[in-house]
Amino acid sequence: MKTLRVGIIGVGNIGTAHCGCIAGGRIKGMTLAALCDIDGEKREILAGKYHVPVFEDGDELIKSGLVDAVIVATPHRFHPHYCETALLNGIHVISEKPAGVNVSEVRRLNEVAEKSRAKFGIMFNQRTDGLFRKAKEIIEAGGIGEPKRLVWIVTNWYRTQNYYDSGSWRATWNGEGGGVLLNQAPHNIDLWQWLFGMPSRVRAFCGEGKYHRIAVEDDATIYAEYENGATAVFVTTTGEAPGTNRLEISGDRGKIVLEKSTLTYTSLMTPEREFCFTCDKGAALPPMTESSYIIPPGRDGHELILENFAAAVLENEPMTAPGTDGIRELSISNAAFLSSWTDSWVNLPMSESDCAEFDRILEEKRALEKAAEEAGNRGKAAEDRDVQGKGTGKEKYISRWNVKW
Ligand SMILES: NC(=O)c1ccc[n+]([C@@H]2O[C@H](COP(=O)([O-])OP(=O)(O)OC[C@H]3O[C@@H](n4cnc5c(N)ncnc54)[C@H](O)[C@@H]3O)[C@@H](O)[C@H]2O)c1
């Protein structure tokens, strides 16, 4: 096989982009062979434009014999089902991020992947960004030494109410299964663990419907601890303008700062721990050198991940973003939700009982939201939660949209 015949399941915003670059011949090793969407009008347009079979049902596309690989680009909730069906049928699969909503289902999915002859990858396209690759290269070469701290303020995911109103699945517990942590920040959370490793426990505070008329979180602060004593702080929101995107990673031999498309690396000539206990002055700093890197944006990251995936299948190249990393990224966000919901620490890897508790609370939220939607009130689940037992207050509802400092 020299070229993978690819099917795309879910042809919305990002599915259309994948479709365009494969059909346009920009992905070495891939040709467009079939499409699928549950939206009938969309199917008609797609059939007219791409001249490939268009399916209503993703399972049928997978079993059609027309494809060697599929890209799953539906809302997150359906990712595990289509990925698992593909893997069970020996069809290679690349899932859009996040790999799913619940760690428990993505763990199961990876067990299926392990037994399958087909390959499983995740669309963590930001891993191809030159600045993050440079950071990884410095860290892997020992450039920061023993890790001490990661701080990432990524508050430039600003979204308006109009965005949230643009699709009925958006920002709902039933449709997305979460907000900024599930939709916008998975790329950053993945890069956090890719560069700095997995923490051993997490404490988080999520603001649900804090800035928008939605039920899910649009604001989150995660504090995490590592086995070696290192810590991480991760702050994200869709409700702040202008936002910031600044990542700092420090260790006892140096520090990396990424901000405004520049990576600044400071290397300490003497490790800080050694300097601290050998320096004979009270407020001196270890001698250091500083270098800056500006790496112009290269080729689109989605295209690079698709091409890498084709090379992984066809030529056994190492995969840039293997499916197992979907568990790692999702574990941090599931743990953050659970920590916020239960007001407690959550250990990583998540225990079976913590996964079950996460699943239980999420189901409760889904039921509450469904009941509110049936009563014709999108976003009312958040209101109900706050108002319940505290009176009926319309004033309260309105005051929720004011920022309280
Ligand atoms: N990697 C990235 O940069 C990136 C960017 C945007 C979105 N995403 C991810 O891609 C996924 C889709 O996001 P989007 O913004 O394209 O959403 P979207 O709503 O624009 O598109 C989703 C499409 O899937 C279709 N669909 C829904 N349920 C389906 C089903 N069961 N079977 C087949 N088709 C179905 C819908 O009709 C729609 O056309 C999400 O998981 C999102 O997180 C990733």
Provide the residue-wise pLDDT of the chain in tens; the chain has 405 residues. 689 999 999 999 999 999 999 999 999 999 999 999 999 999 999 999 999 999 999 999 999 999 999 999 999 999 999 999 999 999 999 999 999 999 999 999 999 999 999 999 999 999 999 999 999 999 999 999 999 999 999 999 999 999 998 888 889 999 999 999 999 999 999 999 999 999 999 999 999 999 998 989 999 999 999 999 999 999 999 999 999 999 999 999 999 999 999 999 999 999 999 999 999 999 999 999 999 999 888 899 999 999 999 999 999 999 999 999 999 999 999 999 999 999 999 999 999 999 999 999 999 999 998 887 787 665 544 444 444 444 444 434 334 444 433
Distance of CA 19 from the midpoint of ligand 1 (Å):
13
Alpha carbon distance 230, 249 (integer Å): 11
Q: Which atom of ligand 1 is nearest to the CA of 78?
A: 31
Span from the CA of 168 to the centroid of ligand 1 (angstroms)? 12
Q: Say if CB 101 and CB 178 are below 8 A apart.
A: yes
Domain extent listing, the chain: 4-126+300-321, 128-298+322-405
Compute the distance from residue 364 Cα to the ligand 1 centre, in Å: 24
Q: Which amino acid is at 340?
A: S
Ligand 1 centroid to residue 163 C-alpha, Å: 14
Q: Using alpha carbons only, what angle is made at residue 374 by residues 372 and 377, rounded to the nearest 5 degrees? A: 50
Strands 30-36 and 4-9: parallel
How far does Cα 210 stand from its chain's mean position? 21
Which residue among 13, 45, 157, 320 is best mutated to probe the pocket of ligand 1, counting the most ligand atoms within 8 A of its Cβ? Answer: 13
Separation between Cα atoms, residue 399 and residue 58, nearest integer Å: 44
How far does CA 38 lie from the centroid of its chain?
A: 24
Closest ligand 1 atom to 182 CA = 43
Burial 185-215 (b: 16+ CB within 10 A, else e): bbbbbbbbbbbbbbbeebbbebbbbbbbbbb
Cβ contact 175:77 at 8 Å: yes
Ligand 1 binding pocket (C-beta < 6 A) is 9-15, 36-39, 42, 58, 73-76, 78, 96-97, 123, 125, 167, 183
Taking domain 4-126+300-321, whether its CATH number is 3.90.1150.10 is answered by no
Q: Which of 94, 119, 97 is nearest to 6 (CA)?
A: 94
DSSP H helical ranges for 98-155: 103-115, 130-140
The residue among 236, 233, 260, 232 whose CA lies nearest residue 246 is 260
Distance (Å, rounded) from C-alpha 19 to C-alpha 15?
6
CA of 390 to the centre of ligand 1 (A): 38
Measured distance CA(75)–CA(251) in Å, rounded: 38
- Residue 172 CA to ligand 1 centre (angstroms): 14
CATH class of 128-298+322-405: alpha beta
Beta bridge partners of 94: 71, 121
In 3D, which of 175, 184, 216 has the Cα closest to residue 78? 175
Whose alpha carbon is nearest atom 39 of ligand 1? 12
Check for a shared fold between 4-126+300-321 and 128-298+322-405. no
| Beta strand segments in 88-244, E | 92-95, 120-122, 147-154, 201-208, 217-225, 231-237
